[in-house]
Structure 1
Amino acid sequence: MNWLKGVMPLAVIGSVVVLVSVVRMEPVMAESETAQPTFKELMERKAKANANAGPEVAAGMPDDALGRGTPRSSVQGYLKAAGERNYTRAAEFLDLRNLPTGLSESQGPELARELKIVLDRTLWIDVETLSANPEGESNDNLPVVRERIGGLSIEGKTYDLLMQRVPRGDGVYIWKFSSLTVAEIPMLYQQFGYGPLEHVLPAWLFDVSILGVHLVVWAVAVVISILLIPVARLVTWLLVSLLGAVRADLAQQFTQYFRGPFTLLVWTVLGREAIGLIGPSVAVRALGQARTVQVIALAWFLLRFVDFAAHRIGINLDHQGLSGSRVLLVPVARLIKVLALAGAILLWLDNAGYKVTTLLAGLSISGVAVALASQKTLENIFGALTLFTSRPVKVGDFCRFGDKVGTIEEIGLRATRIRTLDRTVITVANAEFANLHLDNYSERDRFWYHPTLQLRYETTPDQIRYILIEVRKMLYAHPKIVSEPLHVRFKGFGAYSLDIDVFAYIGVTNYTESLEIAEDLNLRIMDVIAAAGSDFAFPSEVQYSLPGKPFDEERAKAVTAAVKDWKSKRELYLPDFPSDKIAALKSTLAYPPEGSPHYAQAKA
């Protein structure tokens, strides 16, 4: 697995970057009792704020032009007025009575502005949870004239943000931010305001918001992002240099495939850290929680990693002589990319606060329907995968499949094309072809030579002995016959013949050449049988009413004398030839045989 050695270091680097990029990096802020809102909730509140053009009207709610009859409607009215930068109107929602020394009613608009900034940067107020009762909540362990909308804990001290029911000038009771909360606004603003930036930058940058984020934060984010670009590139360059010092090819591959996504990931990680240092607002944290850019960078990194892995696997297949298997790389890589993109989208939706379980349930049902509809296609793809991995056959192989034979011309994703002996093309679906009995003739390393010699019953035992020994001599002596395993045996008595079984292997792999050698062996065996004075039997019933073929008594006597001589010299090599005799006989026959056009060339 040489390709794996090149993939693993880059995979380790990618894993580290991914882990760092998904670590939750929340800025150190004041502790709030309300949960951090998600991007989805932020958008929903924005939509609700736009939809609620007028003040909410509840049963028993006093008539008030600003909608301050309930805690909920009063908070909604304040947020709407402050969001429109109408701080004079927003000041109408503050109880400016009984202010401490240093504060006066004339500072109401400024106090309303500062409270809005504090709320934006520290507290997520879910107005739907506030009381819509004109008399407030009765079971919150607070006086009936007060309503708690949240609290901030700073250095162990808790500051409650309270609404209070106070009389209007005409004696009608309405809800405003309590004078106690108003008195704490300067201290809270000093703690959570923008500090010296307000003395340097125009005031409108701190008032105008986009997606709930003040323009000053957008400006700072843009500046930080621009400044971090060369830093991210520098980190990438250092990593490439480090890889180049270890392995130059690894550095080149990293540059080719991962420089862009790695730089973007580093940039997003550094950007989140930098934004955290300026104390982002609730809206900024909600936007950052979705990790949109990080998810894009992560998806980009995964897609390039799939390309890199496919490239390395393709090279490895070429080295192993499996170039045909490359056809699977493209669809498999595309499938992995689709799954990676789907996972990135689901990750973003989950970070943004959307319920992905419902979506996954819907996708699972759709996936089952698609899987059922594409069952045959999937079976053929898996069949192709089986053919490419187990490799029972490959392109160019001559094989038997089922009851047919032919040469493999193409193994595609859906079907396999085979050229038959009559030059037609058969196309078989991969799912069916992979389950067939495949006999691959191209993979054999030798050819089996296995004739049965059926001799006439008139053949004498000495003639059979002669034939057994001479055929073995011939096979041992033939340069194209493998000496082991090899046997020539008197097998038994057939219905009309005496059967001699020949078992040998022709040591060639070319089919045409094997036919040539088998032809030569057959002719030599016929010469041996003729020399023994015997003949082949016919599968027919013979009646001896007339004399049959004349029996060659002279040859029979000569064969008997030869066998007798072998016996006297202890050279009757039955049942086996000695190994030294086999070695002496090896390749002593002329092949091609004498008289062949290639005889003189082979002899030379």
Structure 2
Amino acid sequence: MERFVWRARWTIAWWLLVAGLAPTGSAAQGAEATPGPAPTPTVQRPVDDYDRGTPRSAVRGLFAACGAMDYKRAAEFLDLRRIRVTEREDVGPVLARQLCLVLDRTVWIDLEQLSDTPEGDREDGLPPRRESLAVVPTAEKPTRLFLERVPREDGVLIWKVAADTVARIPALYQEFGYGPLEEYLPKPFFEWMFLGVRLWQWIGFLLLGTISWAAAWVLTRILVRVGRTIVSQSWVPLSEDAVVVMRAPLHALLALVLFRSQVPLLALSVRSAHFVQGLTGAGIVLAVAWLLMRAVDVVARSIEERATNRQAVASLLPLGRRATKVFLAGLTLLAALQNLGFDVTSVLAGLGIGGLAVALAGQKTLEHLFGGITLVADQPVRVGEVCRIGDKIGVVEDIGLRSTRIRTLDRTVLSIPNGEFASMQIENFSRRDRIRLAATLGLRYETTPDQLRYVLVELKKLLLSHPKVSPEPARVRFAGFGAYSLDIELLAYIETSEHEEFLAVREDLFLRIMDIVAESGTAFAFPSHTVYCGADSGIDLARQQAAETQVREWRAQHRLWLPYPPEEEAAAIRGSLAYPPPGSAIS
């Protein structure tokens, strides 16, 4: 006992001496060093033909064997010690195949989450030689599958699927297997695979697609017929054809919904099922967007039919329809990307960060976009109106998000970017309340002053008595002496905003002016040089005398309409002239 005590004392003294003399960084700096905990000895990864030294490598090898359909090799990753030795060679591959199918159908295992050390994860709350593989969501309750570190034939510890998990494989396969199909279909239907989908599943895709399309066609016909009946008997301002327009997108939507609901019958793998669900989800989003865009067209057409007399609404409709469709397209794109597995949040964040760059790169585009908004809000012109822009005159056909299209008088289409169009001087002809009529009449120099007075008075009477001519102002004045004529200026406003009607009224006035000039005995002058070579009958003396006599009577009665007509007489004859003239086709 005394020897043991002395030996212990000498051992402690020796270690203290070694610790005091050992060079450390802190000792070099004049500070005491505190020894840390002893490092944990590293266990070397065992050498194994199937690379079963760690949980991660074992599961990776199992998945590789399953993917190659080498179930005999996959059986090497199962702990078959509870099965009789004579049965292991036959039962092992069967159990391996069943486990591969169960895992393929039910769970997605991330290999990076599994431990890559020979000891496994010591902090998972499980026994030291046990590792969690996956949790299978069965009908009764979730079933946890385990890996276990077991001795190989030579005693080296390796990782395999635990024996108790192997015992649960038949029950799991009973729930997640192919069922009676394996009894009726040949083996190639289950062994041949393309893109992770087996042959019988490809055939199932075709059958489900055909059945879903046919069932959707029947349902669509029924729904369209019911919709037409409802629309025809309701107060909703929609035509029956509006329901028919929705048939194609409704058919596609119903077919995709029916197909998606039946996909679980195909017993796809988790990866394939996730892809199909995402793809069909994106298709449903596109079909809904198609349906909504058709609905936008139907509503816009209905509003357009009801707002035929409201030009402001009519001009807003095309731009509003396009803006709504662009908004729907943006939402559809985001929803489709989300269904396909993309991170929409990252996309939106990227758009926010790149917004400044997009704004700088698309300055002109944004300028034209806001120019279109300005045109719609301010409405200097509307669709269908006639306007002058620069030296061009035409009819506004469309106000789009980027440009405005104008049909010119030459029947060409002029496209002007909205940013430029909004900053130009626009003359709108369609919003005139009246149309100006200005003309200069040239009478021959042989016209006497009284003849000229007669013409002036009759022209004033003509303008005041015509129902389509505004009395204020309606001016007829002797303007001056031209190079070859006595010039009379005529100014009036025709009470119409329609150009065709203006042309008809102007024509009628010009014909009546010709009658007045002829009645006065004079004539219109024209550019010429008169050379008198002989006797000339001259002007009509009888009519000249009649016109002069009429003027003398007006003077005697103080009723001469120069320089202004008497208000009583002007009021008395206002609108008394027959128009359209007698004998006209529209009278």
Q: TM-score, normalised by structure 1?
A: 0.58
Q: Which residue of 2 aligns with 1:528?
A: none
Asked whether the 8 Å contact 2:105–2:268 carries over to 1, the reply is: yes
For 2:407 and 2:575, locate their aligned partners in 1 and report how far apart those are by CA, in whole Å. 43
Between 115-124 and 142-151, report the one with greater CA deviation: 115-124
Q: 1:287 aligns with which of 262, 272, 275?
A: 275
**Could you give the per-residue CA deviations for residues 169-200 of structure 1, whole angstroms, max 9, x where no partner exists?**
11110011111111121222223222222222
Q: Which residue of 1 aligns with 2:174?
A: 190
1:490-501 to structure 2, matched below 5 A, reads none
Q: Which residue of 1 aligns with 2:107?
A: 123
**Structure 2: 5+ residue runs without aligned partners?**
1-41, 233-237, 439-456, 476-490, 517-552, 559-565
**Could you give the per-residue CA deviations for residues 424-456 of structure 1, whole angstroms, max 9, x where no partner exists?**
x99976434434554535532336899xxxxxx
Q: 1:407 aligns with which of 385, 389, 393?
A: 393
Aligned residues: 462
**Could you give the per-residue CA deviations for residues 555-579 of structure 1, whole angstroms, max 9, x where no partner exists?**
xxx999999xxxxxxxxxxxx989x
Matched, 1:376 2:360: no
Asked whether the 8 Å contact 2:388–2:426 carries over to 1, the reply is: yes
**Compared with structure 1, are the counterparts of its residues 150 and 474 closer, same or farther at alpha carbon in structure 2 (3 Å cutoff)?**
same
Q: Which residue of 2 aligns with 1:84?
A: 68
Q: 1:510 aligns with which of 491, 502, 506?
A: 502
Displacement of 1:261 in angstroms is 3.4
Q: Which residue of 1 aligns with 2:286?
A: 299
**Could you give the per-residue CA deviations for residues 28-82 of structure 1, whole angstroms, max 9, x where no partner exists?**
xxxxxxxxxxxxxxxxxxxxxxxxxxxxxx9821000100000111111111112
Return the index of the structure with the highest Cα Rg. Answer: 2
Q: Which residue of 1 aligns with 2:208?
A: 224
Cα root mean square deviation, aligned: 5.9
**Compared with structure 1, are the counterparts of its residues 88 and 250 closer, same or farther at alpha carbon in structure 2 (3 Å cutoff)?**
farther
**Compared with structure 1, are the counterparts of its residues 300 and 401 closer, same or farther at alpha carbon in structure 2 (3 Å cutoff)?**
same
1:37-186 to structure 2, matched below 5 A, reads 60-99=44-83, 106-152=90-136, 154=138, 157-186=141-170
For 1:475 and 1:600, locate their aligned partners in 2 and report how far apart those are by CA, in whole Å. 18
Q: Which residue of 2 aligns with 1:263?
A: 251
1:490-569 to structure 2, matched below 5 A, reads 507=495, 510=502
**Compared with structure 1, are the counterparts of its residues 63 and 338 closer, same or farther at alpha carbon in structure 2 (3 Å cutoff)?**
farther
Secondary structure, counterpart of 1:183 in structure 2: helix
For 2:310 and 2:470, locate their aligned partners in 1 and report how far apart those are by CA, in whole Å. 34
Q: TM-score, normalised by structure 2?
A: 0.60
For 1:151 and 1:600, locate their aligned partners in 2 and report how far apart those are by CA, in whole Å. 99
Q: Which residue of 2 aligns with 1:272?
A: 260
**Compared with structure 1, are the counterparts of its residues 127 and 510 closer, same or farther at alpha carbon in structure 2 (3 Å cutoff)?**
same
For 1:218 and 1:411, locate their aligned partners in 2 and report how far apart those are by CA, in whole Å. 52
**Compared with structure 1, are the counterparts of its residues 516 and 382 closer, same or farther at alpha carbon in structure 2 (3 Å cutoff)?**
farther
For 1:378 and 1:277, locate their aligned partners in 2 and report how far apart those are by CA, in whole Å. 50
Secondary structure, counterpart of 1:61 in structure 2: coil
Q: Which residue of 2 aligns with 1:434?
A: 422
- The residue type paired with residue 254 of structure 2 is V
Displacement of 1:414 in angstroms is 5.7
Asked whether the 8 Å contact 1:480–1:506 carries over to 2, the reply is: no
- The residue type paired with residue 153 of structure 2 is G
**Could you give the per-residue CA deviations for residues 499-553 of structure 1, whole angstroms, max 9, x where no partner exists?**
xxxx9976467389679979x99xx9xxxxxxxxxxxxxxxxxxxxxxxxxxxxx
Displacement of 1:159 in angstroms is 2.8
- Between 1 and 2, higher relative CO (CA 8 Å, sep ≥ 6) is seen in 1
Q: Which residue of 2 aligns with 1:443?
A: 431
**Compared with structure 1, are the counterparts of its residues 484 and 97 closer, same or farther at alpha carbon in structure 2 (3 Å cutoff)?**
same
Asked whether the 8 Å contact 1:401–1:437 carries over to 2, the reply is: yes
1:355-370 to structure 2, matched below 5 A, reads 355-362=343-350, 369=357
- The residue type paired with residue 392 of structure 1 is V
Between 89-98 and 410-419, report the one with greater CA deviation: 410-419
Asked whether the 8 Å contact 1:94–1:179 carries over to 2, the reply is: yes
Q: 1:351 aligns with which of 339, 343, 361?
A: 339
For 1:156 and 1:240, locate their aligned partners in 2 and report how far apart those are by CA, in whole Å. 43
Secondary structure, counterpart of 1:443 in structure 2: coil
Asked whether the 8 Å contact 1:384–1:411 carries over to 2, the reply is: no
- The residue type paired with residue 226 of structure 2 is L
**Compared with structure 1, are the counterparts of its residues 582 and 476 closer, same or farther at alpha carbon in structure 2 (3 Å cutoff)?**
farther
Q: Identity across aligned pairs (percent)?
A: 35
**Structure 1: 5+ residue runs without aligned partners?**
1-57, 451-469, 489-502, 525-557, 564-575, 593-597
**Compared with structure 1, are the counterparts of its residues 91 and 237 closer, same or farther at alpha carbon in structure 2 (3 Å cutoff)?**
same
Secondary structure, counterpart of 1:434 in structure 2: helix
For 2:74 and 2:389, locate their aligned partners in 1 and report how far apart those are by CA, in whole Å. 86
**Could you give the per-residue CA deviations for residues 286-309 of structure 1, whole angstroms, max 9, x where no partner exists?**
12331x245335435644764675
Displacement of 1:137 in angstroms is 0.7
**Compared with structure 1, are the counterparts of its residues 204 and 251 closer, same or farther at alpha carbon in structure 2 (3 Å cutoff)?**
farther
